[in-house]
Amino acid sequence: MDLPITALLQEICPPKLHPLAADAEQQVQEWINAMTGLPPSFLEKYRHAAFGILTAGLYPQCTAAQLMMFSRYILWIFMHDDFFGPMPPAAIQASSEEAIRILRGASSLDHPIMQQLAILQQELVPYVDAAWQERFIQHMSDFFTSIAIERGYNYNPSLTYPSLDTYLALRLQSTASFTLIDLAQVAAAQLMPDALLHHPDISRLTILANKATGWTNDYFSFAKEENLETTNLIFVLQHTCQYSREEALAATIRQYNEVILEFKSVLNRLPDFGDQQSLVENYIQGLKWVISGHLNWYSYTKRYQMNPFSTTPHQ
């Protein structure tokens, strides 16, 4: 399908890269090269994924040390999903339980993917408080639950498809974007209190940022996932709503644009938060960078077969 995708997608804000983006990418490559305990064929697909560059777009304002820490997380979350996601349910549950133990401070076992999570957990300690940590762990737990649910549909000899309503609810957790947003607070050096996060407008903006990343990922990843996974909005629309492929792609773009338009609408009705106004503004800017940095990543990553963008990232 020949869609002028750059013209059709609404922009939330201009993308921006951290000035040390190239350093982050080099560090990610060094971590990949050091993971000798994983199959070379598994590692090879990460060499051109540009995870360091992705991180630099998600968190362009963070410190140099945080950029490397966040890059470790981005590499880890993709590796975890790719490695454990296709496994039998019991193996998924075991890996998820181990990850939660590690996030609570337990030592990792010998698995190289879990070792990266253990390092990350120690790196995060100076930047977060107990409330942030509990939110992050809950978001990780929700993500792991979504992996297990998706496994019931994916990687089976006979593929099955969730209903549209089931998928829409599931996608909020399977993006893992709530964890990306948690880290955006760390990047801003301002952790949000629960009272602000639960404000109806702030909560809605957070959900909309999550949805934006989900719909862009579904659009760009469907060619890679076809015949292996069914948990993608395009496939769900085709098989449960009888859309054609072209209609499903167009509908996914509309979903994304509607999310961005609603995000802007919510921004226009925000109240004054008084002495917490600066905190809220920084949080919202972090949401915008998560959306724009994630979208910009598809212009240069080689992870997905379908890539309508040019190969030059926005600086």
Model pLDDT for residues 1-56, shown as the tens digit of each residue: 444 455 568 889 999 999 999 999 999 999 999 998 899 999 999 999 999 999 99
pLDDT, position 310 = 33
User: Could you give the CA distance from residue 249 to residue 1 in angstroms, rounded to a whole number?
Assistant: 9
Residue 257 predicted with pLDDT over 70: yes
| Residue 260 CA: distances (Å) to CA of 122, 212, 214, 257 | 35, 7, 12, 5
Percent of the chain exceeding pLDDT 90 equals: 86
Tell me the average pLDDT across 112-137.
Answer: 96
User: Could you give the CA distance from residue 102 to residue 119 in angstroms, rounded to a whole number?
Assistant: 9
Tell me the average pLDDT across 213-219.
Answer: 96
Q: Give the pLDDT band (50/70/90) at residue 305.
A: low
pLDDT, position 307 = 38
Given CA atoms 70, 183, 19, 56 in this order, what sign does their dihedral have?
positive
Top-level class of domain 15-297: mainly alpha
Q: Residue 257 in contact with residue 250, Cβ under 8 Å? A: no
Picking from 253, 272, 283, the residue whose alpha carbon sits closest to that of residue 191 is: 283
Tell me the average pLDDT across 149-170.
Answer: 94
Instruction: Specify the amino acid at residue 47.
Output: R
- Mean pLDDT estimate for the chain: 92
Question: What token pair was written down for 250?
Answer: 């167009």
